[in-house]
Amino acid sequence: KTGAKKWEFETEGWVWPSPAIGTDGTVYIGSNDSKVYALYGNNGTVRWKFSTEGPVQSSPTIGADGTIYIGSRDNKIYALDGKNGAKRWEFKTGNFVWASPAVGIDGTVYVGSWDKKFYALNGNTGDEIWVFETDGEVSSSPVIWSDGTVYFGSTDNNIYAISTTSKNLANSSWPMRGQNFRHTGQVPEK
């Protein structure tokens, strides 16, 4: 109503990515200090933090079971427990991961890397399902349409549409960057 500051939280590095918000109000965000933070949305205190081996410039997404998926400049994609930050798995790519993942209704995690590849990963295990190679770095965050088509761009000047088995977004509060198809960034109230 007034624009008055509710709280602020200072990281040890600049903050590049957009946050994701869980249904309980937890705010998840990465920082250039090589950490992923979970902050209580009502007061900005730390719920947990997770250290990577490189700056985190990828925006987090949330799977149907509350898993946080996020990329890092340490060339990895991480799956973290949304409640306590414990690492569930990591997947190593050939270069930076700046793109934000998108999670399909079947649990598949889609994300690109600066290694010029676009990956489909099993959200439970981190195992590679398939990989699509482009002629340029993939820093574009993918979107999933209701017919299973995944769209993303590459520095090779192309936009790609890939057929997948994910016939919609995951049933979660934040399955892709911007939260939903319209990128409203609003979590429905319980």
* Nearest partner of 70 among 83, 86, 59, judged by Cα: 59
Q: Is the pLDDT of residue 108 over 70?
A: yes
141-167 CB burial, b ≥16 within 10 A, e <16: bbbbeeebebebbbeeeeebebebebe
Q: What digits encode the pLDDT tens for the residues 39-63?
A: 999 999 999 999 999 999 999 999 9
Tokens of 139: 């820093």
* Nearest partner of 7 among 41, 37, 32, 48, judged by Cα: 41
Non-local (6+) Cβ contacts of 45 within 8 A are 9, 39
Query: Taking the CB of residue 43, how many other CB atoms lie within 10 A of it?
Result: 9
- DSSP for residue 188: P
Q: What digits encode the pLDDT tens for the residues 12-27?
A: 999 999 999 999 999 9
pTM: 0.93
